[in-house]
Amino acid sequence: MRVLVVTAVPVERDAVTRAYGDEPAVRPVRGAEIHRAGPLDVLAGGAGPAAAAASAAFALAAGRYDLVVSAGIGGGFAPVAPVGSLVVSRRIGAADLGAETPAGFVPVTDLGFGRTWHVPPPSLVRAAAGATGAAVGDILTVSTVTGSADRAAALLTAHPGALAEAMEGFGVAEAADLAGVPVLELRAVSNAVGPRDRDAWRIGDALTALTGAFGKLIPVLEGWTRHDRDDTAD
């Protein structure tokens, strides 16, 4: 089984490959580098949904994969996803894809086109959460990191099942869907969603948690069978 893991930046990529311990093999893919560690091909695809989608699409076109994982650090909604915890996606959503109107935000689906959610295979979500101890919930993809209490409250009002936000998951999921490959998102929480306070962020702790999570996740990925790709409902 081959798994493509897409992170935003190299420090996240390296946190994932450290789960294997050995120095990863590196190969270029159309201007980028894929680091191979065991069954994982790990790519630092760039920040934001557009860069993540483009990088994932190029990698998927260049190789055969059974699963794509969007992984890295992210913000957690307190108190359900505290700093240092792990979150696995029940759904991967585009939280700010749509239009502002006098009555408020309207998602793109209400405008009559596009989509706002991708659903990972529930059997894989359950197995990943069981192995890593991660909480299971919606992970929101945003193009602008939340920096105020009002914005955090608005996101939770619109998406009460949200546990975390990040900037790449939906882009990776769009590329995976076009390639006909299932997708999963895993985040280690580095900061609370809300007022921006860099002094309170714990990026190093979150990266350590990400490494530990993949150390436990790798046996799950290796044991996950292709027929589970059709598992789309509990």
Over the stretch 141-150, which tens digit does the pLDDT of each residue have?
999 999 999 9
Reply yes or no on whether the pLDDT at 197 is more than 90: no
Side-chain half-sphere of 90: how many Cα atoms within 13 Å?
A: 12
Mean pLDDT of 76-88: 95
Nearest Cα residue to 179 out of 78, 27, 64: 64
Q: Are strands 162-166 and 67-76 parallel, antiparallel or unpaired?
A: antiparallel
In a domain, residue 232? The reply is no
Least confident of 92-96, 100-104, 125-129, 227-231: 227-231
Assigned domain for 147 exists: yes
DSSP code string of 83-112? TT-EEEEEEEEETT-EEEETTEEEEGGGGT
CATH number at residue 9: 3.40.50.1580
Note whether residue 231 is domain-resident: no
Q: Is residue 138 classed as helix, strand or coil in its secondary structure?
A: strand
Residue 233 lies in a domain: no
Angstrom CA distances, 30 to 34, 45, 67, 179, stand at 10, 12, 20, 18
Residue 95 lies in a domain: yes
For the chain, how many structural domains are there in total? Answer: 1
Torsion angles phi and psi, residue 42, rounded to 5: -115, 125
> What average pLDDT does range 5-18 have in this prediction?
96
The pTM score is 0.91
For residues 152 and 146, the answer to whether their CB atoms sit within 8 Å is yes
Q: Could you tell me if residue 157 is inside a domain?
A: yes
Per-residue confidence band for 208, with pLDDT thresholds at 50, 70 and 90: very high
| pLDDT the model gives residue 231 | 53
Q: Would residue 92 be called left, alpha or beta, if left means φ above 0 and alpha means ψ between -120 and 50 degrees?
A: beta
Residue-range definition of the domain harbouring residue 169? 3-225
In a domain, 51, yes or no: yes
Flag whether 200 is in a domain. Answer: yes
